[in-house]
Amino acid sequence: MSKSNRRDFIKITMGGLAAAGLLKHSGGLRSKPILMQVPERKGSTVMGMTSKALPTVRIGVIGLGMRGSEAVTRLLQVEGTEIVALCDLLPERVEMAKEVVRKQRGTEPVGFFSGEEEWEKLCRRDDIDLVYICTPWEWHTPMAVDAMRNGKHAAVEVPAALTIEECWELVDTSEATRQHCIMLENCCYDFFELNTLVMARRGLFGEIMHAEGAYIHDLRWLKFDEQNGYYPMWRLEYSKFHTGNPYPTHGLGPIAQIMGINQGDCMEYLTSMSTNQVGMSLYAKETFGPDSKFAKPEYRLGDMNTTLIRTINGKTMMIQHNTTSPRPYSRIHLISGTKGIAQKYPEERLAFEPEAHRWLNDKEMKKVMEDNQHPLIKQIGEKARKVGGHGGMDFIMDYRLIYCLRNGLSLDETVYDAATWSSLVELSEISVKNNGQPVAIPDFTRGEWEHTPPLGIVTL
């Protein structure tokens, strides 16, 4: 095609697009996103909600696998807690957790383990304030909803929900019962993330225009481990039937708080795409043999998923998920603003105007990090490192949650955050299955984000 013909072709094409209403003032192509219905509010908003102060937080823990058993140990290190009840499908796990409580506190929690519905008995007890849920994903919403309907606050592992319907169920139940529902997004309490939150609130990055987060973690060995993995291999089973990003909140949570999502800004729509699935099948064939029970099934979860989000205020976010490729661990955590940038992986780095073309050296980094250390790190960071839990962030998360409940304070993460961050599970899959078509992200706050200030620099 000659240059003149090419110019004529472009003019005709652009004119046709404009006439069809597909060409916006920005000069780009924009199709209408797939819409999600927003149901009418049945209760009243719980944004900023406080609750009656609880001098001692009485806790029931459901799910005592890797995360649950670790949670019991951590919660016993937090002042003002009492482990009242423990529940798991496996009686040996319940007994092990009870023994931990006996040794540290000298008390005897009630154990539930005789069937799949035993957790309902735990939720109905009248001597529990907080139900702490560490079960496979599919049980997160049903258990959290039941806890709230029985007058308990709910703390649920990530993601809090798997579908948009479940996201709304969490929101509507919290609003109707006036009970807290917090998703246990521990990465919001990691040390570098907390410090970059301080820097953001102090304006060091200027106006933040773009951020990135991820969960890149080679879990192939754990997914296929029948003895020590995800009992009863629920994570592997999920990979057979779903694509998209099933685990978005570790990367999304910290940057969403920093950018004021649901608090001054709102995620408007996303577009998502995934690679083919290769890694899990290859691993299964090489590890267990091509005729093994693990090599034969079809796995639908793409090796790498990349989801792009645009906010109502014109900011962008990139979220990635990959648990099947041989790569070093990374959550990315990148913050990019008009005055500077922060990046955590592969190493913690900062750059600011007027010399933002270079990363700060070690001495400069140390000073900025010390000058902008989050109060939570100053107050309980040393103990958190000793107690452990992903370097201490798990303990800070638990400590802060219990502190808020004991003092009748609003929580750092709301049920709206749990719903919004978890909504990517289904929305990303919808977009992937529709060739990356934009999908609208529901406003789970129903407009409350417009007059809610961003999370501040909290302290104890």
The pLDDT confidence band at residue 42, using thresholds 50, 70 and 90, is confident
38 part of a folded domain:
no
Model confidence at 3: pLDDT above 50: no
Pair 150, 278 in one domain: no
Q: Are 216 and 350 members of one domain?
A: yes
Give the range among 26-30, 66-70, 157-161, 277-281 with minimum mean pLDDT: 26-30
> Which of 133, 164, 184 is the C-terminal boundary of a domain?
184
How many CA atoms lie less than 13 Å away from 381 in the CB half-sphere? 14
Domain co-membership, 131 together with 279: no
CA 104/CA 203 separation, integer angstroms: 44
DSSP 184-225: --GGGGSHHHHHHHHHHHTTTT-SEEEEEEEEE---HHHHT-
Amino acid at 334: L
User: Is 320:214 a contact under the CB 8 Å cutoff?
Assistant: yes
Q: Let me know whether 299 and 212 are in one domain.
A: yes
State whether 126 and 265 are in the same domain: no
Asked, for residue 396, whether it belongs to a domain, the answer is no
The number of angstroms, rounded, from the C-alpha of 369 to the middle of its chain's C-alpha atoms is: 25
DSSP string, 90-107: SHHHHHHHHHHHHHHH--
Residue 439 lies in a domain: yes
Task: Decide: 350 and 367 in contact? Cβ < 8 Å.
Answer: no
Which pLDDT score, from 0 to 100, does residue 2 have? Answer: 47
Asked if residue 266 belongs to a domain, the reply is yes
In a domain, 434, yes or no: yes
In a domain, 37, yes or no: no
At residue 80, what is the residue type? G
> Is residue 122 a part of any domain in this protein?
yes
Average pLDDT over residues 366-386: 98
Instruction: With cut-offs at 50, 70 and 90, classify the pLDDT of residue 285.
Output: very high
Confidence tier at 19 by pLDDT (50, 70, 90):
very low
Same domain, 236 and 258: yes
Same structural domain, 230 and 346 = yes
CATH number at residue 236: 3.30.360.10
Question: Is residue 9 over pLDDT 50?
Answer: no
Q: pLDDT tens for residues 168-178?
A: 999 999 999 99
CATH number at residue 107: 3.40.50.720
Confidence check: pLDDT of 362 > 60: yes
Domain count, the chain: 2
As a whole number of Å, the end-to-end CA separation of the chain is 69
Q: Which of 193, 180, 149 is nearest to 404 (CA)?
A: 180
Are residue 319 and residue 205 in the same domain, yes or no? yes
Bridge partners of 337? 208
Domain that holds residue 176: 57-184
HSE toward the beta carbon, residue 375, CA cutoff 13 A: 6
Q: Largest Cα–Cα distance in the chain?
A: 86
Residues 151 and 289 in one domain: no
Last residue of a domain, one of 151, 184, 217: 184
SS3 412: coil
| Bond before 159 cis per omega within 30 degrees | yes
Cβ–Cβ under 8 Å, residues 305 and 243: yes
In a domain, 43, yes or no: no
Q: Are residues 78 and 211 in the same domain?
A: no
Q: Do 445 and 316 have their domain in common? A: yes
pLDDT at res. 30? 57
CA distance 104 to 114: 26
* Judgement on whether residues 202 and 173 belong to the same structural domain of the protein: no
Is 156 in contact with 137 (CB distance < 8 Å)? Answer: no
Q: Which of 150, 184, 218 is the last residue of a domain?
A: 184
